[in-house]
A and B are shown apart, each in its own frame.
Chain A
Amino acid sequence: MKEEVEALLKEAEERILAAQTAEELSQARIFYLGRKEGKITELMKRLPGLSVDQKRDVGPILQQLRVTVESLLSIQEKNFAKDELLDLTGRGKTVPTGGEHLLTTTIREIERIFEGFGFLSVAGPEIETERYNFDALNIPADHPAREMWDTLFVAPREEGRLMRTQTSAVQIRYMEKNEPPFQIISVGRVFRHEATDFSHEINFHQAEGLLVGEKVSMANLLYTLDAFFKRFFSGQKIKTRFRPSYFPFVEPGIEVDVYLPGKGWLEMGGAGLVHPKVFQAVKYPKGISGFAFGLGVERLAMVKYGVPDIRFFYQNDMKFLQQFGGEMRLK
Chain B
Amino acid sequence: MAPFVKSAEDVRERLTTHLFEVEDIVGDTIDIKILPNRYDAASYLGLTRELYAAAGKRWKEKKLTKVRVVKKGSVKAVIQTKKCARCMTVYMEGVRISPSPKWLQDVLLHSGMRPINNVVDVTNYVTLMTGQPLHAFDFQKMEGKQIVVREAKQGEEVKLLTGEQIFFQKGELMLADTRGALDLAGIKGGERAEINAETEDIVLTAANFDGTTVRETARRVGVITDASSRFAHGLSAELVGAGMEMAINLLIKITGAKLGKTFDAYPKKALAKKIVFDPDRILEILGVEITPKEMKKILQDAGFGFSGKQIIVPSVRTDIETIEDVAEEVGRIYGYNNFSLISPQVYLFSNEEEGLHMLERVVRERLIATSYQEIKTHSFVSEREAEETGNWGVIGDEGEAVKIENPTAALYARGRKTLITLGKEVVKRAAKDFSQVRMFEIGNVYVKNIGKVKEETVATFFSSSREREGIREVKGVLQAIIKNISPSSLIEEQKDDKLFLSLQGKVVGVVGHAEGVAYGEISLTRLLSFISFEKKYEAESVYPVTFRDISFSLSREVSFGELESEMIKAGRELLSDFYQRDEYKKEGKSIFTYRMYFQSKEKTLTNEEVDGRMSDIIQSLSKNGVEIF
Q: Which residue on chain A has the smallest CB distance to residue B331?
A: A252
**Bound CA span A118–B37, Å:** 34
Q: Which listed segment binds A: B97-105, B145-153, B406-414?
A: B406-414
With contacts A153-B405, A328-B436 taken as known, whether A98 is within 8 angstroms of B37 at the C-beta atoms is: no
CA distance A266 to B430 in the complex (A): 35
Q: Is A159 an interface residue (CB 8 A)?
A: yes
Given contacts A218-B331, A316-B426, contact A243 B336 (CB under 8 A): yes
Whether the Cβ atoms of A152 and B328 lie closer than 8 Å is: no
Among listed B241-249, B308-316, B370-378, B565-573, interface-contacting one: B370-378
Q: Which residues between 417 and 448 of chain B lie within 8 Å of chain A, taking CB atoms?
A: 426, 429-430, 433-439, 443-444, 446
Q: A155-B405, A223-B341, A244-B19 are in contact. Are A148 and B36 (CB under 8 A)?
A: yes
Closest to A111 in B: B357
Q: Are B332 and A154 in contact (CB under 8 A)?
A: no
Q: Is A76 positioned at the interface, with any CB of B under 8 Å from its CB?
A: no
Q: Which of B345, B351, B367, B405 has the most CB of A within 10 A?
A: B405
A residues within 8 A CB of B20?
244
Chain B residues engaging chain A, CB cutoff 8 angstroms: 16-21, 35-38, 211-212, 215, 232-234, 284-288, 322, 324-325, 327-328, 331-332, 336-337, 339-349, 351, 353-354, 356-357, 364, 367-380, 402-408, 412, 415, 426, 429-430, 433-439, 443-444, 446, 451, 453, 455
Whether the Cβ atoms of A224 and B374 lie closer than 8 Å is no
Give the tally of cross-chain contacts (CB within 8 A).
240
CB-CB under 8 A from A273, the residues of chain B are 285, 324
Are B17 and A326 in contact, CB atoms less than 8 angstroms apart?
Answer: no
Complex partner residue of A246 from B38, B327, B353, B429, CB under 8 angstroms? B38
Contact B212 A251 (CB under 8 A): no
Closest 9 pairs (CB-CB, A-B):
A217-B287, A219-B287, A252-B328, A98-B368, A220-B344, A242-B336, A223-B341, A244-B332, A153-B405
Complex contacts, A242 vs chain B, CB 8 Å: 336-337, 339
Q: A202-B408, A241-B337 are in contact. Are A123 and B356 (CB under 8 A)?
A: yes
Instruction: Assess whether B438 is in contact with A98, with CB atoms less than 8 Å apart.
Output: yes
Q: Are A103 and B287 in contact (CB under 8 A)?
A: no
For B415, what are the chain A residues with a Cβ–Cβ distance below 8 Å? 127, 154, 163
For B347, the chain A residues whose CB sits under 8 A away are 118, 181-183, 213
CB-contact partner of B407 in A125, A152, A181, A316, under 8 A: A152
For chain A, the count of residues having a C-beta within 8 Å of the partner chain is 84
Tell me the smallest distance from the CB of B30 to a CB of chain A, in Å. 16
| In the complex, chain A residues whose CB is within 8 Å of the CB of B215 | 144
Instruction: Please state if B343 and A223 are interface contacts (CB–CB under 8 Å).
Output: yes
Q: Does A305 contact B (CB under 8 A)?
A: no
Query: 20 A-B contacts, Cβ less than 8 Å apart?
Result: A98-B438, A120-B349, A144-B215, A153-B404, A153-B406, A154-B405, A183-B346, A189-B379, A194-B408, A203-B379, A211-B346, A216-B344, A217-B287, A219-B339, A219-B342, A246-B37, A253-B328, A313-B376, A316-B439, A318-B433
- Decide if A325 touches B380 in the complex (CB within 8 Å): no
B328–chain A nearest beta-carbon distance, Å: 3
Q: Roughly how many angstroms separate A243 CA and B35 CA in the complex, as a whole number?
A: 12
- Docked-complex contact B356 and A117, CB < 8 angstroms: no
Q: Is A126 in the interface zone, CB < 8 Å from B?
A: yes
Measured CB to CB, the nearest residue on chain A to B289 is A219
Which residues from chain B contact A215 at a C-beta distance below 8 Å?
284
- Assess the A318–B430 pair: CB atoms within 8 A: yes
Interface residues in chain A, defined as those with a beta carbon under 8 Å from any beta carbon in chain B? 96-101, 103-104, 117-118, 120-123, 125-127, 142, 144-145, 147-148, 152-157, 159, 161, 163, 181-183, 189, 191, 193-196, 202-203, 211, 213, 215-224, 226-227, 241-246, 251-255, 273, 275-276, 289, 291, 313-314, 316, 318, 321-322, 325-326, 328-331
Partner of A100 from B337, B368, B443 at Cβ < 8 Å: B368
CA distance A99 to B446 in the complex (A): 26
User: How many angstroms between the C-alpha atoms of A34 and B101 in the bound complex?
Assistant: 117
Q: Are A218 and B286 in contact (CB under 8 A)?
A: yes
> For the complex, what is the distance from the CA of A134 to the CA of B200, rounded to whole Å?
51
Question: Which of B287, B377, B403, B439 makes the CB contact (< 8 A) with A220?
Answer: B287
Known pairs A218-B336, A246-B36; A99 contacts B349 (CB<8 A): no
Complex Cα–Cα for A108 and B374 (A): 14
The interface residues of chain B lying within 8 Å CB-to-CB of A99 are 368, 373-374
